[in-house]
Amino acid sequence: MHKLRLMPLAPNYPVMLRTTDGVRLDGAHTPAGPGGSDVGIVLAHGFTGSWRCADTRRITHVLSRYGGVVAFDFRGHGRSGGRTTVGDLEVHDVAAAVRHARSIGYEKVAVVGFSMGAAVAIRYAALHRGADAVVAVSGPARWYYRDTPPMRRVHWAIERPLGRIAARIARRTRISSGRWDPAPMPPHEAAALVAPVPLLVVHGDADTFFPVEHAHQIFAGAKEPKELWIEPGYGHAESAARPGMIVRIGAWIEANLS
């Protein structure tokens, strides 16, 4: 097992990505640790997140022991342009990050997504066929879910003008006011199209946003090769992720792409 250095964080270098639909994305490249690697890892954050957040930076640091990491802000988030569509057009953002990873020499690319980023990672792998491995952490299986208090707050931010203003001011997240037309393929259906690329589904049994039934639905929809981890005591997405779990995710990527 790789030894884990908690401090200082691995260095990163700024990158500017451009999507095929013309959106500029703010991002960073953290090279692979000692010895280098031909594996690139694209890190896709959750709704209202950023590659600059401390939680995401720590995850990037751990994953850089297993490959070079390209992290970025989704459209409408942080310093990226455009407005977020909360899981639809964001597949173009992941595609831009994967293209960049390959352009700087990574021969194999894994996409690791958290929450909204998990849904986008699955949809990207299914529809664009550009990933060599996919890890979906704390992801929803279906759209419009609002059966938990945190998800009702998320829908308020997305659907109400006052909520969108609050998200822009408090979280630097600019949300599109348009509705999906048509609604994108839900993650549990897209999961069936990921194979033969290996898929790892990770979910916490203490997730307050999406109960574990979402992970089971994604896993049931997927075809082999696939793996499901239900993590005891793990909450939701980046903020609850502990280094030990990220180490195991890195080792899974390494084992599947070595």
- Structural domain total, the chain: 1
Q: Is residue 8 part of a domain?
A: no
Domain that holds residue 55: 13-257
What confidence category does residue 34 fall into, taking pLDDT thresholds of 50, 70 and 90? Answer: confident
Locate all alpha helices (DSSP H) within the chain, ordered by sequence.
54-63, 90-103, 116-128, 149-159, 161-171, 187-190, 213-221, 237-240, 243-257
Report pTM. Answer: 0.95
Q: pLDDT exceeding 70 applies to what percent of the chain?
A: 97
d(CA 63, CA 17): 21
Q: What is the mean predicted confidence (pLDDT) over 201-208?
A: 98
Asked if residue 24 belongs to a domain, the reply is yes
Residue 7 in domain: no
The single-letter DSSP state of residue 249 is H
CATH number at residue 128: 3.40.50.1820
25: left (phi over 0), alpha (psi -120 to 50) or beta: beta
Nearest to 91 by CA among 72, 74, 115, 109: 74
Residue 5 in domain: no
What is d(CA 235, CA 209) in angstroms, rounded to the nearest whole number? 9
Residues 250 and 244: their CA atoms lie apart, in Å, by 10
User: Is 48 within the bounds of a domain?
Assistant: yes
Tens digits of per-residue pLDDT, 76-134?
999 999 999 999 999 999 999 999 999 999 999 999 999 999 999 999 999 999 999 99
- Whether 2 is covered by a domain: the verdict is no
Q: Whole-angstrom Cα distance, residue 2 to residue 110? A: 18
Mean pLDDT over 145-163 rounds to 97
Structure tokens at 255: 């084992």
Instruction: Confirm whether 80 is domain-assigned.
Output: yes
pLDDT (mean) for 136-143? 98
Domain membership of residue 1 (yes or no) is no
